[in-house]
Structure 1
Amino acid sequence: MDLLQYTFFQHALIGSLLASIACGLVGTYIVTRRLVFISGGLTHSSFGGIGMGLYAGISPILAAAIFSVLSAFGVEWLSKRKDMREDSAIAVFWTLGMALGIMFTFLSPGFAPDLSAYLFGNILTITMGDIALLGGLAALLILFFVLYIHPIIYIAFDREFARSQGIPVQLFEYILMMFIALTIVACLRMVGIVLVISLLTIPQMTANLFSHRFQRIIWLSIGIGYLSCLGGLMISFYLNVPSGASIIFFSIIIYAICKIGKSFWLTLRQKKEVKLLQS
């Protein structure tokens, strides 16, 4: 409890909650639509925006947000063309972002910046500006999902059915891709480019072990995501290791425990059913 006296730890707790809300909403759509590979491409393409921001002397997070949103629109547009496969479109922006990020970082004037904070993250260094960004994004996502939860579910599970219901599928897909890109950028300071995709998928995979309902997965993934952040912070504090890696490691531990526990419970249930049939 002594940790709560420190401002940086208070910021970490608030940031973890807001990030869990944003990732719980967006991540459920990502996992349901099977967009994990696309999200990985957008995650790494954001590095191009960071490099450009450092070179131009503007906020790297702002530059990364703009670059990621444009990359998301580019992937969505290219993947709809008949002469371009979706995985090829993702590879184009994935490699382009990483290449531009490395080039502009080394071309930046002055001392070479420390990129480890963007690559691996450190939740203990987030500022009130980062919290405000996460808070604004979480509020927008909550409002959007509350207003359009049914169209989002239709698009996530069956786009053709959504079109038959008169839903502007393409518009929703572009908006959701924009939210995916913004969520990735907002979480960069927490877990970094290398690990942010895990925060968007592992809590949802864990929640999916217990429910197949879209709304329930959202609620469960928010709770599991926040629990992962808290556990990761404790590991980071006691072992003196990077917080971003600790958060992802703890989330994988939770998934493994739930997976093994569910498998064990199903095995016991099957044995009981066999005994009942035999008797």
Structure 2
Amino acid sequence: MMPGYPPDITSYLFGSILTVTKTDLYLMVCLTLIVFLVIATFYHTWTAYLFDEEFAFIIGIKTMMLEYLLLVLIAMTVVVLIRVAGIILVLALLTAPAAIAAFFTRRLKARMILSVILGCIFCITGLWASYTLNIASGAAIVILSVACYFVVYLAWLLYDGIRKKKLLTVCKIETNHLKG
């Protein structure tokens, strides 16, 4: 912050995704490559760590190093993206796609890929909606991603309820069959 200039708090909250400079874009591309290379390098180690931290430590994986590396990657991502997207959009894009992907797959690699795809879809669709409806782009992306999460969550609740009802029916039939 420059002395004498009041900070614009809304830029930290909502960012300015439509005013991205070439420098910001290059910085984001470099960060994306760094994150991709680190994840590709440590993928199997991270899988072991995320599955069972204690077992990973016992077999010799430096779990604290992995945890710190993950925190550094998250911190770098948040710091780079706050200026462009704002903290609200960054938090929405870090959580909503991953939460939605968790409903569809349990495999880490598939979840990561689906999260990236969903994040891109939310950004493109949100930018289109903001242009069409003449609303703030960050707000459109956040609203879209959160709305999609709730739709998927409600669909999952409905599916889970139907599945449990079928299972209960099968159990009753089996119980009656065994009794009679």
Length-normalised TM-score, structure 1? 0.57
Matched residue, 1:127 = 21
Closer, same or farther in 2 for the Cα pair 1:194/1:268, shift >3 Å? closer
1:233 counterpart (115, 127, 130) = 127
* Contact map agreement 1:121 1:243 (CA 8 A) in 2: no
Unaligned runs of 5+ in 1: 1-53, 56-107
Matched residue, 1:220 = 114
Matches within 5 A, 1:24-103: 54-55=1-2
1:144 counterpart (18, 38, 46) = 38
Secondary structure of residue in 1 paired with 2:132: helix
Distance 2:136 2:75 in 1: 24
Distance 1:231 1:189 in 2: 21
Does 2:73 correspond to 1:179? yes
* Contact map agreement 1:190 1:244 (CA 8 A) in 2: no
Does 2:55 correspond to 1:161? yes
Question: Residues 26-84 of structure 1, C-alpha deviation per residue, up to 9 Å, x if partnerless?
Answer: xxxxxxxxxxxxxxxxxxxxxxxxxxxx23xxxxxxxxxxxxxxxxxxxxxxxxxxxxx
Closer, same or farther in 2 for the Cα pair 1:273/1:176, shift >3 Å? closer
Secondary structure of residue in 2 paired with 1:166: coil
Matched residue, 1:265 = 159
Secondary structure of residue in 2 paired with 1:209: helix
Question: Residues 121-179 of structure 1, C-alpha deviation per residue, up to 9 Å, x if partnerless?
Answer: 12111111111111111111111111111111222333221111111222222222111
Supply the RMSD in Å over aligned alpha carbons: 2.0
Distance 1:169 1:147 in 2: 15
Unaligned runs of 5+ in 2: 175-180
**Amino acid across the alignment from 1:255:** Y
**Amino acid across the alignment from 1:200:** L
Q: Which has the larger radius of gyration?
A: 2
Closer, same or farther in 2 for the Cα pair 1:164/1:233, shift >3 Å? same
Does 2:92 correspond to 1:192? no
Distance 1:259 1:193 in 2: 24
Distance 2:40 2:113 in 1: 13
* Contact map agreement 2:89 2:141 (CA 8 A) in 1: no
Closer, same or farther in 2 for the Cα pair 1:274/1:171, shift >3 Å? closer
Question: Residues 224-256 of structure 1, C-alpha deviation per residue, up to 9 Å, x if partnerless?
Answer: 111111221122112222211211110011111
Does 2:96 correspond to 1:202? yes
Q: Deviation of residue 275 (structure 1)? A: 4.9
Which protein has greater RCO, CA pairs closer than 8 Å, 6+ apart? 1
What is the percentage of aligned positions where both structures have the same residue? 34
Closer, same or farther in 2 for the Cα pair 1:146/1:155, shift >3 Å? same
